[in-house]
Amino acid sequence: MFDNLSDKLDSAFHVLKGHGQITEINVAESLKEVRRALVDADVNYKIAKEFTNTVKERALGQDVLTTLKPGQLMVKLVKDELTELMGGEAEGINLSGDPSVILMSGLQGSGKTTFSGKLANFLKNKKTKKPLLVACDVYRPAAINQLHVVGEQVGVEVYSDEGNQDPVAISKDAIAYAKENGHNVVIIDTAGRLAVDEAMMTEISNIHEAIQPQETLFVVDSMTGQDAVNTAKTFNERLNFDGVILTKLDGDTRGGAAISIKSVVNKPIKFIGTGEKMDAIDIFYPSRMADRILGMGDVVSLVERAQEQYDEEEARKLQKKIAKNAFGFDDFLNQLQQIKKMGSMKDLMGMIPGAGKMLKDVDIDDDAFKGIEAIIHSMTPEERSEPKVINASRKKRIAKGSGTTVQEVNQLLKQFNQMGKMMKMMQGGGGRKMMQMMKG
């Protein structure tokens, strides 16, 4: 995410390295680079200029006695201003109605249907919500099918009325259906076109008018940069929508849309899409996004994802096993699965400060664990729970079965042993022994 922009901003801050204090000249020089980086990332020139002017004023107005070095100060000021530009605080969606009706709008291909599914899943996981997805694209039967597929994936009912050519009627019927069947959220997926056209605008405005949704969301592909911002403007003029959904942030996005959209339409970005899978959805936090743009990672989101996967019961069982020296390969496999559930490896790595930059040219695929998994799957249940029994001939058999080499099997066994020792240590003498060991 935003690798190019992060790199360029980093070089812009380097201009200040070695300077003992902020001066008008070095600030101007550094900010010229910041502005160039923003414009290259497809941020509108006017916004980029205003941005750097604000940062400049703040930088020069700083007390010279500040404890931060000029480079650090600039990073902080740019971070604060980026956060502000992207909306300051995170904003949720309005779920006040019964049912609360959420209308999705946007161009075809922006990711509306995918996001409708993700949002339904997100709300369903909140336990108190029972969403209904509604297919309102009367032109493309394939789109209706797609929503059914998505609904099935997330276990949410989909309402469609294939013979009906009137999206306003379908929406109204769907809301009535939701009331009768205890759905407290209705998510309406509408037809998009490849480009803004009058017929589409009239149709979506008519639906909007007729059903008066609690929340109208505009979905936009972040890869389209300035176009995304212009489309947002057009939709906003007609719909006065409540929030923006920025999709495909997992791709090679330059960042322009994320940075400029809020200030152009004055509506917050509420969620982001970070992949094709149904769990690739995140609440948009301006300050965390600013951290990511500046290559500072996003530890908060990483910890949150870990917490979502954390199962206290499981953790207790695991602890007992470790204490009894009974942690085996099945448990190891289980742990790997937990990690994988947190998201794609590349996505997770991007949240670790500094790692995103280091790994930007490395193609980490989600099959990174495949070799390890294959080796474990080739072990017998006895070998998994009692790895000690794995002798040379068993190693050969395991390597053959998993399509790996004896060396790779050895390596895994070695890592497994080290992990076992480490876990034992963290359990036993607590962190103190670990600390001593690390100090050497």
Neighbours of 352 (CB within 10 A): 14
Does position 343 interact with ligand GDP (CB under 6 A)? The reply is: no
Q: What is the spatial order of strands in the sheet that 215-221 belongs to?
A: 158-159, 131-135, 185-189, 100-105, 215-221, 243-247, 269-273, 281-283
**Residue 204 · residue 193 · CB < 8 Å:** no
Instruction: Return the CA Rg of the chain.
Output: 26
Does position 280 interact with ligand GDP (CB under 6 A)? The reply is: yes
Does position 105 interact with ligand GDP (CB under 6 A)? The reply is: no
Does position 97 interact with ligand GDP (CB under 6 A)? The reply is: no
Q: What is the DSSP letter of 69?
A: -
CA atoms within 13 A on the CB side of 436: 6
Tokens of 124: 């369903």
Does position 114 interact with ligand GDP (CB under 6 A)? The reply is: yes
Does position 276 interact with ligand GDP (CB under 6 A)? The reply is: yes
Backbone phi and psi for residue 281, each to the nearest 5 degrees, phi listed first? -135, 140
Please identify which residue in 203, 250, 291, 383 interacts with ligand GDP, judged by CB under 6 A. 250
Please identify which residue in 109, 371, 401, 420 interacts with ligand GDP, judged by CB under 6 A. 109
Nearer to ligand GDP, 132 or 133 (CB): 133
The CB-nearest residue to ligand GDP is 273
Does position 350 interact with ligand GDP (CB under 6 A)? The reply is: no
Does position 151 interact with ligand GDP (CB under 6 A)? The reply is: no
Please identify which residue in 35, 112, 270, 395 interacts with ligand GDP, judged by CB under 6 A. 112
Please name the residue that has the structure tokens 């009627």. Answer: 169
Instruction: Say whether 109 counts as a known binding-site residue.
Output: yes
Does position 251 interact with ligand GDP (CB under 6 A)? The reply is: yes
Part of the chain binding ligand GDP (CB under 6 A), chosen from 79-87, 165-173, 248-256, 296-304: 248-256
Quick one: CA dihedral 37, 39, 43, 47, positive or negative?
positive
- From the list 109, 175, 173, the residue with the least C-alpha distance to 140 is 109
Distance separating alpha carbons of residues 149 and 137, to the nearest angstrom: 15
Which residues in the 170-199 window bind ligand GDP by CB under 6 A? Answer: 192
Closest distance between ligand GDP and the C-beta of residue 344, in Å? 10
Please identify which residue in 160, 214, 247, 263 interacts with ligand GDP, judged by CB under 6 A. 247
The binding site for GTP consists of 106-113, 189-193, 247-250
Return residues touching ligand GDP (CB under 6 A): 106, 108-114, 146, 192, 247-248, 250-251, 273-276, 280
